[in-house]
Structure 1
Amino acid sequence: MTVLLHKSRLALADRLADAGLWFMAAIHALIALSFLVVLTGLSPARAEDLPTCTGNNLLTKYEQEDPAGYAKLRAEADAMPNGKAIFWKVEKEGKPASWLLGTMHVTDPRVLAMPEAARTAYDKAATVIVESDEITDEKKAGAAMMARPDLIMFADGKSITDFLSAEDKEKLEKGLKGRGLSLAAVGRMKPWMLMSFVALPACEIARKTAGAAFLDQQLAKNALAEGKVLKGLETLIEQISALDSLAVEPQIKGLVQTVDLGVDGLKDVIETMSQLYLSGDTGMIMPMMRAAAPPGEGADAYAEFEQRIIVDRNHTMAERATPILDGGNVFMAVGALHLAGPEGVVELLRKSGFTVTAVN
């Protein structure tokens, strides 16, 4: 998919590259997105009013339009260590087996269903690990976020408009208006915060406002209801701080690109990532985002995202999970983006002395 970086890119490739894909993924890689309902104060929707999510798989279309370009991307994905599964068995001699599930932080019923083997393992587990155990109480989590306005809002009277060209300001105003938001009202919010308002299709927002839990949240709440031990690997503030640590200008560019993508384009990007997840093809996600990043500063921004939002947090998760997994009979659920790669959670757990094998 290096064709994405050529001057003669296909229209499909342009849609991926112009989607702010790495920044959108940064939001989806973090639990913070789950508090959208609390922070926007949206009125709950009725279940019967919920729209159905639709969208096209951009990679399927890309394969049809440029088989050679797709083959290059496919080869990179196939070479990604541990990139062919979302469910793993974690073992250490003398201890009961534990389990690791890669998740998506969405309420898509296809995702919530989980593989049958994962459902069985979850039922039997005594301890459940998620990225943040704060996700069980949205109001407390929202209050924790608001207690750190420095992570959410620009200081010293600054606004996001201070970083925008006239053209990008117009795009952002138009895009936010289409989502029922005013740039004047939300302009002091950090770009990652604004992105959490625009990085989901309407169907996903409607399910959240109706009270639907995303997969990690559902697992955490069920664990408490069933008397299991619930453990978190990160605090919400740690997660938000990771986003806030990213350079502001590339964040804003990604935000404008995502808003400019339009409703249908957003649906297609989300559906593409969802289908990769559901097929267990997690090794394709990072190469796709890396290829979609434009050269120069865009590539640097993507590299920063990959290091801070994915790799650094992989090490934190694996390190904090190890003493819990040592006891066995644990069900661990973290974002699927954290599983694959030489510094993914799967490989890091192996380096900690566990035998980790894919469950098909």
Structure 2
Amino acid sequence: MTTSIGRRAFFLAVPGNLLLWLIAAFHMMLVAALFVAFLAARPAAAEDAACTGRNLMVDLQQNDPARYAEAVKEAEATPNGKGIFWKIEKPGLAPSWLLGSMHVTDPRVLALPPRAQTAHDTAHTIIIESDEILDERKATAALLARPELTMFTDGTTIDKLLSAEDYKRLEASLNQRGIPLSAVSRMRPWMISSAVALPACELARKARGVQFLDQKIASDAVAEGKEVKGLETLAEQIQAMADLPVEFHMKSLIETLELGAKMNDVVETMTDLYLSGDIGMTMPMLKTVTPATVDETSDYAAFEQRVILDRNKVMAERAVPILDGGNVFMAVGALHLPGKDGVIELLRKQGFTVTAVN
């Protein structure tokens, strides 16, 4: 199909995988959580917000074993792709620990593995991506202070960028989440994508005040009198998204609307992979859901560089002087860990020994 944005048009595969790559940077979804209190006309009722996703890899293994085998092969070739909990060591220092996190309120995710819980409880210092998430009101205020990062400031509204059909889809999807369309009409497309891509059960838990994993790790640490340090500001995180072209974000929003309930399956599959420690399988899994076109492959390269790889470097560089104090518990998004340019390899280049903990 051809989709128009203002007077511009571009070809969009139906469905493509730009949104799925966007979901791979799940940490950005916390922005939607921070804004829920401002957007929700009513929190979704618990009975209306049951988690309905299913694991897509089970179906793939049964229905297309060859493609499943390709995904497994790619995952196995990913450096540091197995495991979410790692030990960080350097001579003369007390060991530190690294947890790959998933920024959701799912109770299965909130229950830390026993050794990770012990490491958290005995650490002197806790590191998370942004310590601003400890106070959601202040965090939201900080974001609102930089409206150009999350909102159109030139009078543009989302209805001017969507077809009538997609606009109706957006309105219906938001209504299911208790969010009036008028509340998001001036928001940038990626912000709206976040609001409609997260499962309703996730938004409902967040609206009830359930903390996502990183928040819980940090707030528990504060309650225990520990020092909590952030590696980035929320503005820095959002700037990474804002730096990408509006066309990229519009494609992602449209694909979100087209995929509809299938997003629940994608999130459930990511959660199952996370719980099993198969982080290296996440990207191959997303590729199997929908194949990329040439244009989308190029789009993802820019996205990966700005939102994942650039931030990997920042997080690793800023973590080093804290880790040099020893006895640190560090939690960052799990998808920042694997790969030759992941946080684990970057820490190794700084002289640390980083090993997986079963």
The normalised TM-score by structure 2 is 0.90
**Residue 162 (structure 1) aligned with residue 169 (structure 2):** no
In the aligned structure 2, how far is the partner of 1:237 from the partner of 1:227? 27
In the aligned structure 2, how far is the partner of 1:180 from the partner of 1:52? 15
**Residue 354 (structure 1) aligned with residue 313 (structure 2):** no
Q: How does 1:81-160 map to 2 (within 5 A)?
A: 81-160=79-158
Identify the residue that residue 67 of structure 1 maps to in structure 2: 65
Identify the residue that residue 314 of structure 1 maps to in structure 2: 312
Identify the residue that residue 39 of structure 2 maps to in structure 1: 40
Checking the alignment, whether the CA contact within 8 Å between 2:43 and 2:178 is kept in structure 1 is: no
Q: 1:283 aligns with which of 280, 297, 300?
A: 280
Structure 1 residues 74 and 325: CA distance shift in structure 2, 3 A: same
In the aligned structure 2, how far is the partner of 1:167 from the partner of 1:294? 24
Identify the residue that residue 263 of structure 2 maps to in structure 1: 266
In the aligned structure 2, how far is the partner of 1:321 from the partner of 1:290? 31
Identify the residue that residue 243 of structure 1 maps to in structure 2: 241
- Encode CA deviations 1:77-103: one digit per residue, 9 max, x unaligned: 110000000000000001100000001
In the aligned structure 2, how far is the partner of 1:323 from the partner of 1:21? 34
Q: Which stretch of the first structure deviates more once superposed, 186-195 or 118-127?
A: 186-195
Identity of aligned residues (%): 57
Identify the residue that residue 206 of structure 2 maps to in structure 1: 208
Superposition deviation, residue 50 in structure 1 = 8.3
Q: How does 1:175-186 map to 2 (within 5 A)?
A: 175-186=173-184
Question: How many residues are matched?
Answer: 345
Structure 1 residues 118 and 15: CA distance shift in structure 2, 3 A: farther
Q: How does 1:192-203 map to 2 (within 5 A)?
A: 192-203=190-201
Identify the residue that residue 25 of structure 2 maps to in structure 1: 26
Name structure 2 gaps, 5 residues minimum.
Answer: 1-12
SS at match of 2:25: helix
Superposition deviation, residue 296 in structure 1 = 2.3
Identify the residue that residue 223 of structure 1 maps to in structure 2: 221
Checking the alignment, whether the CA contact within 8 Å between 2:17 and 2:296 is kept in structure 1 is: no
Structure 1 residues 274 and 19: CA distance shift in structure 2, 3 A: farther
In the aligned structure 2, how far is the partner of 1:284 from the partner of 1:29? 20
SS at match of 2:99: strand
Checking the alignment, whether the CA contact within 8 Å between 1:39 and 1:142 is kept in structure 2 is: no
- Encode CA deviations 1:102-155: one digit per residue, 9 max, x unaligned: 010001111011111100111100000000000110000011111111111112
Structure 1 residues 135 and 268: CA distance shift in structure 2, 3 A: same
In the aligned structure 1, how far is the partner of 2:44 from the partner of 2:219? 21
Checking the alignment, whether the CA contact within 8 Å between 1:163 and 1:249 is kept in structure 2 is: no
- Encode CA deviations 1:249-285: one digit per residue, 9 max, x unaligned: 121111121122223x122111000001000000011
Structure 1 residues 93 and 18: CA distance shift in structure 2, 3 A: closer
Structure 1 residues 309 and 276: CA distance shift in structure 2, 3 A: same
Q: Which amino acid aligns with 2:264?
A: K
Structure 1 residues 243 and 171: CA distance shift in structure 2, 3 A: same
Checking the alignment, whether the CA contact within 8 Å between 2:41 and 2:180 is kept in structure 1 is: no
Q: Which amino acid aligns with 2:200?
A: A
In the aligned structure 1, how far is the partner of 2:17 from the partner of 2:168? 17
Checking the alignment, whether the CA contact within 8 Å between 1:37 and 1:209 is kept in structure 2 is: yes
Q: Which amino acid aligns with 1:39?
A: F
In the aligned structure 2, how far is the partner of 1:245 from the partner of 1:351? 28
The normalised TM-score by structure 1 is 0.89
Checking the alignment, whether the CA contact within 8 Å between 1:151 and 1:244 is kept in structure 2 is: yes
Q: Which amino acid aligns with 1:36?
A: F
